[in-house]
Amino acid sequence: MKKLIIFLSILIFVGCSTLPDYIESQSVMDANDTMQRAQDAEEEGLYTQALHLYENAFDLYSGVDNIKGIIISGIAIVRQYYYLEDMQTYQQWLTKIDTIIESEHSNLMVLKVLLMMEVAFDQEDYSQVLMLSKLAQTDNKEYNTEVQCYRLLSLLKSDQSYEEEFEIIDKNLGSLKRMFNKNKLNDPKIVSYAAYTLGYALSRQQKWLDAIEYFEEAHHYDQLIENESGLADDVYVMGICYQNLGDKERALSAFIRAKEMYENLLDEGMSAAAQQKIDSLTK
């Protein structure tokens, strides 16, 4: 009898577990798909196309009142206007999204702050980045790491101490790797980005060997997510590290590989930079 009950319980458990998870509506699935395509376009630098797709996704999310989707696609739209240098529309959308976040989903305020930090960092307004980083209080490991990365880089650029931020990122990196392995990260790029940032900070201190370890780690995770532009950057900076360590052979090999990768990505600026490095090493 006991065995029968156990068997039946297992049967019910397995039966229930085979039931499909929450099924999203077709509009949400379409919106997610549009978001994915928009992100691909953005990565390729096709900002006008990305803007159009993000606006479509925004409309689809609005049609089903998916607040999180509305906010995320809205922030992406704001970013595209920044890239397209349409600052008037950028400001209008930023205000609009700010209103939605405050009234509907204040937990996502960190996303808006992150965007503003990104813009401030791009404009080399490091004091603004540091000021904004204090507003971005979140328990989310991914967002927190990204905030700390911008903070570290801003401190570094403004010649301030960044040991505390380094330790936080290094500590977070372990957790992020575990989350990566469990496939629980929303944006897997954060792992390689964190490793790269730490490597960069060490490079600035001319700790080349330590830096290489982080760059290799970044390279490993970029390979796993097929982040081609990230891979090219990883190889290029590793080449610099080897060059500074006096390992010309490895450095040359890294720059040649980096040049090929940049050429494939149609990044003429970085391709030329890699070629210069090759030339300097082969002279």
- Residues 211-250, mask of contacts with another protein (x by CB under 8 A): -------------------x--x--xx--xx---------
What span, in angstroms and rounded, lies between the C-alpha atoms of 100 and 63? 15
Cα gap 47→261, rounded to integer Å? 22
Decide: helix, strand or coil at residue 125.
Answer: coil
User: Nearer Cβ to another protein, position 92 or 244?
Assistant: 244
Q: Does 144 bind another protein (CB under 8 A)?
A: no
- CB half-sphere exposure, 109, CA atoms < 13 A: 14
Q: Radius of gyration over alpha carbons of the chain, in Å?
A: 22
SS3 45: coil
| Among the listed residues 199, 153, 155, the one whose alpha carbon sits nearest the alpha carbon of residue 173 | 199
Nearer to another protein, 1 or 183 (CB): 183
Q: Is residue 155 at the binding interface for another protein, with CB under 8 A as the rule?
A: no
Tell me, residue by residue from 80 to 109, as one string, x for binding to another protein by CB under 8 A and - for no binding: ------------------------------
Among 205, 212, 161, 170, smallest CA distance to 191 is for 170
> Which residues are at the interface with another protein (CB under 8 A)?
14, 17-20, 28-29, 31-33, 35-36, 39, 42, 57, 61, 68-69, 72-73, 75-76, 79, 111, 114-115, 118, 121-122, 146, 149, 153, 183, 185-187, 189-190, 193, 196-197, 200, 203-204, 230, 233, 236-237, 240-241, 270, 273
